[in-house]
Amino acid sequence: MTRPLKLGFLASRNGTSFRAIVEACAAGQLEAEPRLLVTNTGKAEALEYARGRGLACRVIPTAADAQAADQALCDALSGADVDLVILSGYLRRLGPVTLSRFRNRVLNIHPGPLPEFGGEGMYGRRVHEAVIASGITETCATIHLVDEIYDHGAVIERAVVGVLSEDTAVTLEARVAEIEPKAYVAVLSRIISGDLTLPD
């Protein structure tokens, strides 16, 4: 991939990993250039952060017309000339136009093991509740490629977190959330260095 790697971001809320990646770029830890943030709601806290750093932003609602939103999202990302699309708490399924244009170039992070604890409706605290109920002793944040099915694309990296006997969904969620931004930055660093090659 070209360097600096040009990044587009999708976020629906706070965009914690988005912020960490932008800060890693600013600090010179990543040879990458944030180009665009797209949200599906004007209420996303990530917007204020992005605007404060001079990053281009677009709000593209998806509820009224998913097909038009898909085309608008693809056009926005293409217009920003991004190499890689990073999902950071983006709570909408990507459409076929965007996925075709950015095939194997869209990354997401999921707060649990995949495929066992993924799929439609498995997000946020629900994942951690299911992990604890299962009795497994290790969970992870999973970075994966995005395709047409929720949490289905090829797994790129797993950042492992132990499940403690005293854990609740709240405490486990906090520990997994703490490692997610670091895991994302580490994966991007490996992609940029050539240590990790995404499929064509």
Active site residues: 110
Q: How many CB atoms are closer than 10 A to CB 59?
A: 13
- Please report the beta strands in 28-135, taking only residues with DSSP state E, as ranges in sequence order: 32-39, 57-59, 84-87, 106-110
| Cα angle value 155/156/158 (rounded, 5°) | 85
The amino acid occupying position 5 is L
The dihedral sign for the CA sequence 112, 115, 120, 121: negative
